[in-house]
Amino acid sequence: MGSGGGPGGKPWTARTGSLREGRMTNRPDILCIGSVLWDIIGRTDLSMAPGNDKPGQITRLAGGVALNIAVTLRAQGLRPVLLSVVGEDAAGAALLAECGRMGLDVAHVLVDRALSTDQYVAIEAQGHLLAALADARSLEAAGARILAPLEDGRLASPGAPWQGPMAIDGNLTPDVLAEIAQSPLFSLADLRVAPASPGKAERLRVFLTHPGATIYVNAEEAGLIAGRAVSCAESGAEALLAAGARRVLVTDGGRLAVDARADGSVSFAPPPVAPRRVTGAGDTFMAAHIAAETRGAARAAALTHALATAAAYVAGDSR
């Protein structure tokens, strides 16, 4: 694993806006590892087809899978810490300042002057995703350097690996995901992993037989990871368990969500809502589920809570 600072890279303290070294004084509840970037989202209440030019609203907000998860965890009373990278540029400084305003701990986010801050662009029409592009090149370039606080004593060390939940973002490179799946530094962690998109779902195959991994996917992603056709959340969960997964949560839009393990499963339909947005819904579901289980909720209660929280988000009732 590489050095956390490296050439041009140092951790950031959101509270003071200054760089710092050293150990954390307050242990967080959960680590969120992956993308921290600017989301640029165009939304319209009109129908759209490829090539259309329609009126709508364009917003820029702090986003990325790891950050979205952290935002919901924070709203649910937990103390997440982000491990990611931003560029030493105006966009990165503004992003870290926005994270600080939201109460997120970015003290261990790598700031690299050789990289630019990542971004994501999406078009949503009538509450459905029409198209999106994710530019996570800096996260990929930083690689395992963002994990340095888990090795150098700031958050953990080889002699005292992290114990507790970690939210892992599929935007990380296959090499970094493989390191997380295989390294003793993560052997005692409760790994909660999710793909960033169907295009990156197969990266999560390294977690299929990990004894401490819970995989959060939709039905399409479940089929891609398992390498077989699935038609719904139930068959997606069955395929992943057959492929060796310890525990999976599989969603299927507004139809059903399944929490499946070898010893049984629970499933519920989400509350019916009129969708107004979709970007970040899966991250919200995952974070709310983790938060509920951290508070000691049983499987059925945790799944119900996660579905209700995600439904409120899709309806536009929360961030």
What topology is assigned to 9-194+270-314 in CATH? UDP-N-acetylmuramoyl-L-alanine:D-glutamate ligase (3.40.1190)
pLDDT at 21: 36
Give the pLDDT band of residue 319 (cuts 50, 70, 90). low
pLDDT at 297: 98
Distance of CA 87 to the CA centre of its chain: 20
pLDDT digits (tens, 9 = 90+) for 167-196: 999 999 999 999 999 999 999 999 999 998
Cβ contacts of 14 within 8 Å, gap of 6 or more: 96, 97, 99, 100, 104, 105, 106, 107
The residue to which tokens 């995952």 are assigned: 286
pTM above 0.85, yes or no: yes
pLDDT digits (tens, 9 = 90+) for 12-58: 333 333 333 334 447 899 999 999 999 999 999 999 988 899 999 99
pLDDT digits (tens, 9 = 90+) for 221-274: 999 999 999 999 999 999 999 999 999 999 998 899 999 999 999 999 999 999
pLDDT at 132: 93
pLDDT digits (tens, 9 = 90+) for 190-200: 999 999 899 99
- Stretch 79-102: mean pLDDT: 97
pLDDT at 318: 66
What integer best gives the mean pLDDT of the chain?
91
d(CA 238, CA 208): 13
- For residue 138, the SS3 value is helix
Q: What ranges do the domains of the chain cover? A: 9-194+270-314
- For residue 112, the SS3 value is strand
- Stretch 307-315: mean pLDDT: 95
pLDDT at 146: 98
- Stretch 268-292: mean pLDDT: 94
Longest CA–CA span in the chain (Å) reads 57
